Structure 1
Amino acid sequence: MSPVGMVRTALPNMDREARDQYLLVIQAKDMGGQMGGLSGTTTVTVTLTDVNDNPPRFSRKSYQFGVPESLPVASVVARIKALDADVGPNAEMEYRIIEGDGLGVFRVEPDKDTQEGVITLLKTLDYETKSSYTLKIEASNRHVDPRYRSQGPYSDTATVRLTVDNVDEPPVFSAPVSKMVVSEAAKVGTIIGSVSAADPDVTNSPIRYSIDRNTDLERFFNIDAMTGVISTAKALDREVNAVHNITILAIESLDPSQVGKGITLITVMDVNDNAPVFAIEYETFLCESATPGQVIETISAVDKDEPPSGHRFFFSLTADTAGNHNFTLRDNKDNTASVLTKRGGFHRREQSLYRLPVLIVDGGSPALSSTNTLSIRVCECDPDGAPQACGTEAFLLTAGLSTGALTAILACILTLLVLVLLIVTVRRRKKEPLIVDDERDVRENIVRYDDEGGGEEDTEAFDMAALRHLNAARETKTRRDVTPDIPALYHSRPPAYKAAPDHGVFRDFIWERLKEADVDPGAPPYDSLQTYAFEGNGSAAQSLSSLESLSSNSEHNYDFLSDWGPRFKKLADLYGHGEGSSVFSS
């Protein structure tokens, strides 16, 4: 068996915190270490493990922190940490407050990751009440090695002073929620109650009060800005709003940005200001075969008021109908009443509808009453008492249509009829457009006259009747698809005039122009009037026109005819058409 080398400690007390690792070189020799023997070496690393032989220690004996008074509960106030030379579980610590005036206001807990003592807030702070707190905090090892307990305490303490910082706080109401009661009969200006708030800061700023109008849109209430007294600003109606939930604002005069809010609940007490009425709109039917004393309807009433002891209604017939021979009323003493017949032998043909006034009185103080009319229709009934024929309205009702449904149907029908009549009226009022298409407005207005006048100033030479009666002077128009008859375009001249020798020249000229107009693709599709200026070979009769009689002594100026006027003069002389000539082209 080979010998084994043992490595032992040479010092009695080794400290891991001073040195936690050693490197050893071990040599082994054979032949007992004699000369000539062989040897070998190896390296051995020795690592010291930790034991909990070091207590925690605070780096400082006292700490001081500032805490704002507005800090919410459960917020972190401060962090402190004790140091421990050990590692791992041996360095885990616990913290606790062992004494001080902050017990119950603060607490301390360890942070498992950083081993810090975390101080948190348990209660709301108030600088004006207490401005500082002192805590004595102990840090100790969670795991203690009994072998080293005798070496000394395994904990340490430190003093923590927490100073409360003053913060400008909004006003605080003496009661967050205040309740008030007012009668709905209260007059405008009636005082309901008051609220109070104060500035919690040392400045003690004066307070001004107002109502948040988002919670009192109709402005039923007012508040005195200085005293906080609340009063009515409008008449109240419990049946409309029984409880008013309004928000009161308290504003610091020195710092208007500091606003406190309080809730005020105002309950409106009921007064008897509503008369009872029928619970529903009754549709009462009476069979012709009804016998005396038969109950034909049971009526009840409702009242918008809410008396503390509940409603109590009294039913009776009005004084003027109490002695009638047809119906009677019986109060059932349970807020209902029964309508009974006093006789039999009702006939629909004699009277189909009865109206019975019913007086209803409530039990309020003072009591209020109202008269409600019950309509009773006489019907022909089957053997089981079901109405069969009560007129048109009753028939529809028995078929399953209520009065509301019938009214809706009739309204729809009336609306449709109005729409139809409106559409028909609009269509009838439609008119033809004022502007007519040019292609549909093809007209032929040609005036032909054979008269040689005395010039532009001579109007007596014209036959004005021919101009007024166009139909008498209208001639047959040539069509574009028919070869025009040139001679037909001209009237025979009076016997006093003879054809000029060169009339063929002018006729050929007109013929050429007509053919050009007929084949011209750019010519209009409707009949048109073609005007030409052509100077022939002269006229044997010369001219009777005044165009050539211009002189310096003339009163008239015809310079505007100087270019083409003479040509039309000669044409007129040739064919006897006055001072100009026009040719109609179709």
Structure 2
Amino acid sequence: MEFLSFYHLCYLFLVWAKRASQIFICLYFLERDMLTGFCSCALDLHSISAAVRSKRGWMWNQFFLLEEYTGTDMQYVGKLHSDSDRGDGSVKYVLTGEGAGSLFKIDEKSGDIHATKRLDREEKAYYILHAKAVNRFTNEALEGESEFIIKIHDINDNEPRFTKDPYMARVPEMSDIGTSVIQVTATDADDATYGNSAKVVYSILEGQPYFSVDPETGLIKTALPGMDREVKENYQVVIQAKDMAGQMGGLSGTTTVSITLSDVNDNPPRFTKTLYEFRVPESNEVGSSVGVIRAMDADIGQNAEMDYRIIGSDGPGMFDITTNRSTQDGIIVLRKPLDFERKRQYSLRVQVENSHINPRFYSMGPFRDEATIKIVVEDVDEPPEFERASYVMEVKEDAAKNTVIGSVSASDPDDKNSLVRYSIDRRTDMDRVFNIHAGNGSVFILRELDREENAWHNISVIATEFNNPRQISRVPVYIRVLDVNDNAPTFATNYETFVCENAKANQRIQTISATDPDEPLAGHRFFFGLAQDAAGKANFSVRDNKDNTAGILTRRNSYSSLQKSVYHVPVVISDGEFPMQSSTNTLTIRVCTCDREGNMKLCNAEALTARAGLSTGALVAILLCVIILLMIVVLFAALRRQRKKEPLIISKEDVRDNVVSYNDEGGGEEDTQAFDIGTLRNPEAIEESKQRRDIVPETFYPPVRRPVLPPTRDNNGDVRDFINQRLQDNDSDPTAPPYDSLATYAYEGNGSVAESLSSLESVTTEGDQDYNYLSEWGPRFKKLADMYGGDDSDRDS
């Protein structure tokens, strides 16, 4: 079986025409790209011829097919043929594999293969199929199945596409020619291994003469020297990519490259003026700004950063200059106080220079500039100035009034030299201890001083110009009060001790010490002893320990609390200063019963209090505190109980009728009084002393009993008397309920005209009842019902 295509038929025609010699022939096909495939077939003609002569089953194993076929008929691919086919129709050709039956169809009888659709090589470059020849009737394979390939020949149907659009690039200004900027890349989907369909050539459409592009690599480079960012910063370059190696008829694509020139330090800073002049008052504080200067630089960013410095001045150290990094301004700062009377004008020489210098451009000239600054000092009326920043004065605490302790001095620094007046700021001397002479500044005292009360006085002295009182200045004056021995020593604490009844002579019972508010330079030295008037009859003695302490000693054996329970020992304490000061202090000693070791066992109440460390006043204070606390607790408990207690009647709306109903005729108002609705509402409100309502108190209110005649049918006056009596009894009864209650007075006597007042009987009776006998008592009965909260319907019980 043979695979015969159009190429094969041409080849066989040449072989048969001239077998002895090698023939090279090229056929011009409608599609130029098919020439390569045809020639490749021609190179294998001898091998194919040998195969034909050897009757090999498969003569050819590869077909070629053009992509993007535009014809109206199906595109012919090739032909399958078997040596077993004699043309009688008994051979059947079968095609299987990729696209068989859908993309590729075969004529079962002739073996011709056709493509049913347009094929795109960029989607799939080749198809692998299998062919076999079988007997049409027996379906027996005449030859074994073999594999062959249909390759799709590429045509130039895809234009080059750039990977980005647009491109962004930066290149330093002033770059040399040929400096690389950026590389662009375009890809072509056509077959790069077959023909020139995918061979791309780059060219520049816009951007000359500043930039160029390498036609093979797409690398963009600078093409013009000295491109200045300050002249033009941004460039738009259009690059074209064309396939077919740039030949006519090729497809192309374009992209835009945005190129920005980055700044380099190629411009020096320049002052806007050569001479600057500033006027500043002499009162400006140190550290304040005197003026601002500015230099301009065409560069940007760190290339425009600059530093200022003073390179010459007729007032060394008076001024300094700093750079504001956000604005690149030069700020002139005052470093020393100005004085119009001393110097009225200053001249400075200032230089500015870039902080970051590019050595490449240093040859273009110095990257610095200079300017002159003139500073004029203006006169200001200044306040007086003291000779010192502060004054310290000393005075003894026993100094007399109006004693001068020191002086201050101030003068007007201005040329007019105004007179100065002095005064004391009374906010610093509210007790008016000191005063000052307004003319000469002498400070003197107005009253006696006490070092123990206040050892230092800090005052403020004010100096005011006589001609301009608004010009003032202050100076602190520290006055130290020197100590004078004007205080006598006393006991260091309030000593109280005891002596045992069984004490021995010369036994120490207490050690005492002294204190003195004075502060001698050499320290305190105290002397202790008994008062002279008590030395002869003293029961105790004082021994000076020579260390500012002394011991109290007994002078005899045994003491009796029955004879004398308390001793008062006068102790004289003296200091060693001049003039000597002394005082007499009383030591209280109580007599107590002690054991053999000297521990107190029994003493009077005052002694016990003393030993416990509590005085009588302290005990009284503690007792008062306890009493106050108890009163607060009782008051709190009473208020809490009153807050919890609910009133009998909360509001007018809470008033309820106390209606008592009886199914039998019982005791009447006695039963009514026996039921207290207030007890149910608030059981806690019952007091223990409250008398029972169901028992009339006989002790305080003896019962009033009046003979009552039962009413009869013949005498209606008995009913009137009966009701009057009941009404009077309830009105005068002090034990009657204070709230609304209904008391019924129904009574049926033997001679009742109404016979019955029951509402039930009235309903069942056929005739109307006659209630005329009540017409006279109607208003009064209604008043009685209103008083006790009753209702007309409750007349019968």
Offset, 1:62 = 0.9
Task: Specify the SS of the correspondent of 1:247.
Answer: strand
Please tell me whether the aligned partners of residues 132 and 161 of structure 1 are also in contact (alpha carbons under 8 angstroms): yes
Please tell me whether the aligned partners of residues 212 and 249 of structure 1 are also in contact (alpha carbons under 8 angstroms): yes
Please tell me whether the aligned partners of residues 29 and 37 of structure 1 are also in contact (alpha carbons under 8 angstroms): no
- 1-structure distance, mates of 2:441, 2:373: 44
Task: Specify the SS of the correspondent of 2:534.
Answer: coil
- 2-structure distance, mates of 1:21, 1:319: 116
Which residue does 1:282 correspond to in 2? 495
Offset, 1:309 = 0.7
Amino acid at match of 1:176: A
Which residue does 1:402 correspond to in 2? 615
Offset, 1:409 = 4.8
Instruction: Confirm whether residue 90 of structure 1 aligns to residue 303 of structure 2.
Output: yes
Query: Quick one: structure 1 residues 28 and 263, their matched pair in 2 at CA, closer, same or farther if it must change by over 3 Å?
Result: closer
Within a 5 Å distance, the mapping from 1:157-196 to structure 2 comes to: 157-196=370-409
Task: Specify the SS of the correspondent of 1:395.
Answer: helix
Which residue does 2:324 correspond to in 1? 111
User: Deviation digits for residues 29-58 of structure 1, max 9, x if unmatched?
Assistant: 999999x88898977766544332221111
5+ unaligned residues in a row in structure 1: which ranges?
Answer: 417-479, 483-514, 523-586
Q: TM-score, normalised by structure 2?
A: 0.49
- 2-structure distance, mates of 1:26, 1:285: 120
Instruction: Confirm whether residue 262 of structure 1 aligns to residue 513 of structure 2.
Output: no
Which residue does 1:309 correspond to in 2? 522
Offset, 1:81 = 1.4
Instruction: Confirm whether residue 236 of structure 1 aligns to residue 465 of structure 2.
Output: no
Which residue does 2:275 correspond to in 1? 62
Please tell me whether the aligned partners of residues 200 and 245 of structure 2 are also in contact (alpha carbons under 8 angstroms): no
Please tell me whether the aligned partners of residues 140 and 155 of structure 1 are also in contact (alpha carbons under 8 angstroms): yes
User: Deviation digits for residues 524-546 of structure 1, max 9, x if unmatched?
Assistant: xxxxxxxxxxxxxxxxxxxxxxx
User: Deviation digits for residues 495-530 of structure 1, max 9, x if unmatched?
Assistant: xxxxxxxxxxxxxxxxxxxx9xx99x99xxxxxxxx
Please tell me whether the aligned partners of residues 272 and 364 of structure 1 are also in contact (alpha carbons under 8 angstroms): yes
Please tell me whether the aligned partners of residues 104 and 122 of structure 1 are also in contact (alpha carbons under 8 angstroms): yes
Which residue does 2:350 correspond to in 1? 137
> Is the radius of gyration larger for structure 1 or structure 2?
2
User: Deviation digits for residues 138-193 of structure 1, max 9, x if unmatched?
Assistant: 11122222232222211100111222233333322222221000011111111100
Amino acid at match of 2:601: Q
Task: Specify the SS of the correspondent of 1:150.
Answer: helix
Offset, 1:282 = 1.0
Task: Specify the SS of the correspondent of 1:90.
Answer: helix
User: Deviation digits for residues 297-336 of structure 1, max 9, x if unmatched?
Assistant: 1111111211111111111112222223622221111111
Task: Specify the SS of the correspondent of 1:366.
Answer: coil
- 1-structure distance, mates of 2:627, 2:230: 105
Query: Quick one: structure 1 residues 103 and 4, their matched pair in 2 at CA, closer, same or farther if it must change by over 3 Å?
Result: farther
User: Deviation digits for residues 197-252 of structure 1, max 9, x if unmatched?
Assistant: 22333333221111111221221111001111001110111111111111111122
Of 78, 99, 111 in structure 1, the residue corresponding to residue 312 of structure 2 is 99
Which residue does 2:512 correspond to in 1? 299
Query: Quick one: structure 1 residues 278 and 325, their matched pair in 2 at CA, closer, same or farther if it must change by over 3 Å?
Result: closer
Please tell me whether the aligned partners of residues 201 and 243 of structure 2 are also in contact (alpha carbons under 8 angstroms): no
- 1-structure distance, mates of 2:222, 2:544: 116
Within a 5 Å distance, the mapping from 1:4-43 to structure 2 comes to: 5=203, 7=212, 13-21=226-234
Please tell me whether the aligned partners of residues 388 and 395 of structure 1 are also in contact (alpha carbons under 8 angstroms): no
- 1-structure distance, mates of 2:609, 2:348: 89
Which residue does 1:347 correspond to in 2? 560
Query: Quick one: structure 1 residues 76 and 39, their matched pair in 2 at CA, closer, same or farther if it must change by over 3 Å?
Result: farther
Which residue does 2:577 correspond to in 1? 364
Give the aligned length.
432
Query: Quick one: structure 1 residues 31 and 197, their matched pair in 2 at CA, closer, same or farther if it must change by over 3 Å?
Result: same
Query: Quick one: structure 1 residues 360 and 28, their matched pair in 2 at CA, closer, same or farther if it must change by over 3 Å?
Result: closer
- 2-structure distance, mates of 1:146, 1:20: 22
- 2-structure distance, mates of 1:233, 1:93: 65
Task: Specify the SS of the correspondent of 2:278.
Answer: strand
- 2-structure distance, mates of 1:19, 1:80: 29
Query: Quick one: structure 1 residues 57 and 330, their matched pair in 2 at CA, closer, same or farther if it must change by over 3 Å?
Result: same
Query: Quick one: structure 1 residues 240 and 19, their matched pair in 2 at CA, closer, same or farther if it must change by over 3 Å?
Result: same
Query: Quick one: structure 1 residues 92 and 388, their matched pair in 2 at CA, closer, same or farther if it must change by over 3 Å?
Result: same
Please tell me whether the aligned partners of residues 567 and 590 of structure 2 are also in contact (alpha carbons under 8 angstroms): yes
Identity level (%): 52
Amino acid at match of 1:81: R
Offset, 1:262 = 1.0
Amino acid at match of 2:356: H
RMSD: 3.8
- 2-structure distance, mates of 1:85, 1:93: 12
Please tell me whether the aligned partners of residues 202 and 241 of structure 2 are also in contact (alpha carbons under 8 angstroms): no
Instruction: Confirm whether residue 385 of structure 1 aligns to residue 598 of structure 2.
Output: yes
